[in-house]
Structure 1
């Protein structure tokens, strides 16, 4: 498969792909070539029919069409776009299914994991996607083993959260080929911090996100975020973190300036918004998935928190995607 030791990477671009993810995928290979003084890596760009494909920032990149059969790729990676959760292409699906039966590495960056899942590539494998899409990913593919790691490599198939996480994947691949010392030289070339372990979380810790250090409060918010479909009653939540309900209320009011019940509703509404924006799930189904059993209550709470109705928010999001 290798041509005189050269590793051939094929990158498939979907409309609205992330330029940050694309650069993080390609640049480590360019950097490795520069440091080695030889062509260790080469790459090509594909799309279903070939031609220009626009990134989310409006810059277009030229691509080649999908070949009938590929025998020359050591790696094929889907660089995710803004509507990958509904993206489908028969040629791409067949292309991926063929490749996963070969020795090639098959992977995705960001929301490209939806495309791998649609092709059945992720069946029986651990996987991830961008953290903002994880709830929608889990709802659409409930049987998959989905985690929040920055990247996962499972039997020659990788998925990652997108953005600079693609660099972590590529540095892992470079290190596997040329050793960790060489991978670190590539990392230093891009003034990149330490190479992150695959199992690091995509998002900041709750301590960093909340800006507080109170362990009880952090534990309570963590329980809220992990129990959105069937919300915990406040007495149960308080008991789980080892305080009285009144103590829990004081903690939220002191550190976050809001009652725990109100904060819990915000957590559930934020998850509902992610589902509405990143999936085709019916509005009421999204409400139920976030613990709301009344459509009218959900709509009122949503409008109060976000300033618009769930349906208007979804329409506005889709219009923005179409304009980009």
Structure 2
């Protein structure tokens, strides 16, 4: 980078923007690092401090990430500056990490007009505090089913990140990088964001229009338009499953042709594949929510709890009730 470019980037006026990272127990290290490193690099590229940051957490001592690495935090959940940006770092067992004290703190800071962002699963904490009511938001794809069931007032998207007013959310993983590059671009221009991305060897900056999961053809390793269309219809109709004959008709095929297509590319029948999708959602709901087993069954298209239990046991070698019990034991440890 030339000295002229450096001078141009470093010409931003104003005091440094302060970021307050709130580390929740079992937070995801990748999401946290993906948000912090662009700030460090921005300072280096600007030749001055344009961003400052601090780490806080409940208790004010140490917080462990989901990888087991512990971090010393600088303070407890104290009041932050009005111009600060708060970034809640979530991860595994976010329901357990979302304590009453955290919720009270989030609501108090929100009333003061603070910008608050939720990284990875922290959108759950923000939604529990009522910070996302009537707003667009995103969360890691693995948590989408449980989030949608619990928070009806939130407009959940599948985007990599979402910025709605002074509430930001990310989908986890490397999506923190995309959010921070967007903030850097807003604060100091696109050139600064591009230079930071280059330093990160981040060759494709995603926007809030990009979705977090691969397309259906990429995920299943098959580029057959009719098969992809059927799978998309299955994924969008879990609570009220569509029969294979109707699915086949909707894509201009016979039921027999659809059966052959699934056997050829996925080595299973359409009915079996659909069942696996429904059971996967059921497992997510059992593991991530306190919904009753009966309500989980209904949400996944099973009219009978006994039929649901039979199918679940056949696929996962345990019953829904035992799965729920084992999750309760894990959360209590």
Shift of 1:94: 3.5
CA-to-aligned-CA distance 1:29-75 (integer Å, 9 cap, x gap) = 111111112111111111222111110011111121011x3225520
Deviation at 1:163, TM superposition (A): 1.1
Extract unaligned runs of 5+ from structure 1. none
Q: Which of 40, 46, 57 does residue 47 from structure 1 map onto?
A: 57
Query: Does the alignment pair 1:200 with 2:194?
Result: no
Listed one character per residue, the Cα deviations across residues 295-314 of structure 1 (whole Å, up to 9, x for unaligned) are 22212211221222223333
Contact 2:82-2:112 at 8 Å conserved across structures? no
SS for the counterpart of 1:42 is: strand
The residue that corresponds to 1:112 in the other structure is 122
In the alignment, structure 1 residue 293 sits paired with structure 2 residue 306: no
How do 1:172-251 and structure 2 match up within 5 A?
A: 172-251=182-261
Shift of 1:103: 5.1
Alpha-carbon deviation of 1:188?
Answer: 1.0
Is 1:65 equivalent to 2:65 in the alignment? no
Within 5 A, what are the aligned runs for 1:270-289? 270-289=280-299
Which deviates the most, 215-224 or 32-41? 32-41
Q: Aligned residue for 1:27? A: 37
2:82, 2:114 within 8 Å by CA — same for their partners in 1?
Answer: no
Q: Does 1:74 align with 2:84?
A: yes
Per the TM alignment, residue 242 of structure 1 is displaced from its structure 2 partner at its CA by: 1.9
1:86 deviates by: 4.7
Taking a change above 3 Å as real, the CA distance of residues 72 and 43 of structure 1, as seen in their structure-2 partners, is: farther
* Corresponding residue SS for 1:85: helix
TM-score (norm 2): 0.91
Q: Which residue of 1 aligns with 2:164?
A: 154
User: What corresponds to 1:131 in structure 2?
Assistant: 141
Deviations 1:120-154 (A, max 9, x none): 11011100101000000000012211011010000
Runs in 1 of length 4+ with deviation above 4 angstroms? 317-323
**What TM-score does the superposition give when structure 1 sets the normalisation length?**
0.93
Separation in structure 2 between the aligned mates of residue 230 and residue 257 of structure 1, nearest angstrom: 24
- Alpha-carbon separation, structure 1, partners of 2:252 and 2:95: 40
Would you say the 8 A contact 1:76–1:106 is kept in 2?
Answer: yes
1-side partners of 2:326 and 2:266: how far apart?
30
Task: State how many pairs are aligned.
Answer: 320
